[in-house]
Structure 1
Amino acid sequence: MQITPLVWIITIAVTIAFFVYEFFAHVRKPHEPTIGESARWSAFYIGLALLFGVGIGVVSGWTYGGEYFAGYLTEKALSIDNLFVFLIVMTGFAVPRMYQQKVLMIGIVIALILRGGFIAVGAALIENLSWIFYIFGALLLFLAYRQAFSDHESDPANGRFMKLVRRVLPVTDEYHGDRLTVKKDGTRFITPMMLTIIAIGFIDLIFAVDSIPAIYGLTNEAYIVFTANAFALMGLRQLFFLIGGLLSRLVYLAQGLAVILAFIGVKLVFHALHVNELPFINGGEPVEWIPEIPIWFSLLFIAATITVATVASLLKTRGDRVRAEQAADAGQDAPSDDSARPTDR
């Protein structure tokens, strides 16, 4: 896939333009987006991402198109998991609803910048060190295990990192609109708004470690890696307000993502064996008999896993709600101890 510097410049410029427009058109003035507004923009960005993937398939071939769609699906699923943690952070810091857009916008921009840096590093490593696929594969298998048993009930707002930040920086206890700092008695303090953004930036760094090796397990093309990440992050702010209530119902999302990460980890190890140059593995020769997992199978596997995790989550939460309602009804219908006790004669 031949991508000229001009194409890179145009792509990055258009991506920046979208975020600048979002800030001035939607985020600059604090407000809580309506469901209709969130739905329209979410549909727009998802449609734009799909159209871009079709364009890659038509211009560069459907092998690259398939790699883009597999990468986009994976990054979108990881981004939704990211949203879940954002929700926990903003709840922990009690961010007013009307200011949450600004926090999300800054958090998403930080995520894109961090991922851009990781993409550049990953591309350089892959270009010069073929054995890096072993490292990426092992990392994803570890992350898959961690993801499967992750505890979303923890409170990032009061974790060790944020406690350290509070000790180092002067912090106010109350919000001052959407301001990040405020001056009191000649001293500059940071507000809980800034603390929230610091927490989300730190979480973005952790999530970048997950997402970049994952998508490099699906494609070696840095351009596809970048655009899939950019489109996965575009519209994430609107998606947060659209499915905010649904996030708590996706109880099997972490397990679904763990399966995807483990699958890509195995795929990376298989690929590493195919391009093996390590002298202590097969005498430094490629291992020919291990099959390469085709991109069409990866795309189907990722899509099926996301679908199964979503449907299973919704069925479980619906069943739990029905059982809770039945238990509540049974409790109301049951006679009390006093009414059930025979009266003395």
Structure 2
Amino acid sequence: MSVSVWAWAAVVAGLLVVLAIDLWIVDRGEPREFTLRQAGFWVGFYVTLAVLFGVGLFFVEGADKAGEFAAGYLTEYSLSVDNLFIFYIIMARFAVPRMYQHKVLLIGILLALVMRGIFIAVGAAALERFSWLFYVFGAFLIYTAVNMLRGHDETEFKENLLLRWVRRVFPTTDGYVESKISVKIDGRRMVTPMLIVMVAIGTTDLLFALDSIPAIFGLTQDAFIVFTANAFALMGLRQLYFLLGGLLRRLVYLSYGLSFILAFIGVKLVLEALHSNGVHWAPEVPIWISLSVIGGTMTITTIASLIKARRDRKAGSATPPAKVSQG
């Protein structure tokens, strides 16, 4: 899809305006906790924006491009839900006051948007020049899917190299100073744990891009669609963090669904790369099949998870209390 510089500028400017309005409405005044009603409204708002954008693509570019955007958006949004669990761990690890958590998420997500934009530009240029990278992306996604099936320890957060460097280089206060990221104490400039946790959120989300960027390039090689699908999925992420609350822990089969989706996209990438290189038995997978597989997998995964959580809760409540011996 050929997109003019003006179209790129208009979309980026529009996204920035929406984020600025979000910031002004939600974060103005005294710091306060993010309510469930607020979270629900903003999640619905951002999802509606994504749907409207997809409808606009349908009328301007046709069903194929709209389908690519929908499949990419669903994939990125699904992977983002899995990432939220790590965000919960980071917030607990750094004991971030609840009233400041939405600011931490906003800054981290803005950093992620900028860095993902760079990743996408580099990835699109590399794929256009080196077609063998499709095999690498496909193999990497299959490898990631297998690792996800094996399970990973989500009970601890391990600090990355950049975070350890920030801790070592910048003197840090013992506790939070409202929502400030730096303060001057006895004439000495010091950073607060607020900056540390923002770096943790931003860099962690960047690491998640190592999975999500190859995944969406497996659905479309259009850089414009890759960027907009990522942007719309990330923009409502902090509100989704508060809306899901404890529900995330009940999505016990989420990792299985995501691993299947990543494996499917990985195989799709390899098959399409083979097909483009003249291997006639390797089929091209239509976008409507990709969209059906992704949407169907996440629907089944969510329903199955909630059913299991309900059964476990009932079984727990039905367990009789242990008898205490009288002696």
Q: Quick check: TM above 0.5?
A: yes
Aligned pairs for 1:274-285 (under 5 A) are: 274-276=275-277
Relative to structure 1, the CA distance from residue 161 to residue 2 in structure 2 (aligned partners, 3 Å threshold; closer, same or farther) is closer
Kindly indicate whether residue 325 of structure 2 is the aligned counterpart of residue 337 of structure 1: yes
Normalised by the size of structure 1, how large is the TM-score?
0.90
Measured in 2, the distance between the counterparts of 1:174 and 1:126 equals: 46
Q: After TM superposition, give the deviation of residue 164 of structure 1 in Å.
A: 4.9
Which one of 291, 302, 321 corresponds to residue 313 of structure 2?
321
Note the C-alpha offset of 1:15: 1.0
CA contact (8 A) 1:173 1:191 kept: yes
Residue by residue over 1:146-176, the C-alpha shift from the partner in whole angstroms, topping out at 9 and shown as x without a partner, is: 2233435332265676455433332222110
**CA positional deviation for 1:61:** 0.8
Question: Do the aligned partners of residues 155 and 28 (structure 1) sit closer, same or farther apart at CA in structure 2, a change above 3 Å counting?
Answer: farther
Q: Secondary structure at the match of 1:175?
A: coil
Q: 1:91 to 1:121 in 2, by over 3 A?
A: same
In 1, are the aligned partners of 2:112 and 2:203 still within 8 Å (CA)? Answer: no
Q: 277, 280, 294: which is aligned to 2:286?
A: 294
In structure 1, runs of 5+ residues without a counterpart are 277-285, 340-345
Tell me the secondary structure at the aligned position of residue 326 of structure 2: helix
Q: CA deviation at 1:74?
A: 0.2
Provide the C-alpha distance between the structure 1 equivalents of 2:255 and 2:84, rounded to a whole number of angstroms.
12
Equivalent runs, 1:213-232 vs 2, <5 Å: 213-232=214-233
Q: Indicate conservation of the 8 Å contact 1:110/1:204, yes or no.
A: no
Distance 1:257 1:214 in 2: 11
Indicate the residue corresponding to 1:342 in structure 2: none
Q: Percent identity?
A: 52
Aligned-CA RMSD value: 1.7
1:188–1:129: structure 2 CA closer, same or farther, 3 Å change rule? Answer: same
Structure 2 matches for 1:1-345, cutoff 5 A? 1-29=1-29, 30-156=31-157, 162-276=163-277, 286-327=278-319, 330-331=320-321, 334=323, 336-338=324-326
Deviations 1:282-323 (A, max 9, x none): xxxx21111111111110100111112111211222222222
Letter matched to residue 263 of structure 1:
F
CA distance in 2, matches of 1:167, 1:249: 37
| Larger displacement relative to structure 2 (291-300 or 316-325) | 316-325
In structure 1, C-alpha distance between the alignment counterparts of 2:185 and 2:146, rounded to whole Å: 47
Answer yes or no: is the 8 Å Cα contact 1:92–1:157 preserved in 2: no
> Which whole-Å deviations, capped at 9, do the CAs of 1:107-133 have from their partners, x for residues lacking one?
111111111111101110121111110
Cα separation, 2, equivalents of 1:140 and 1:28: 41
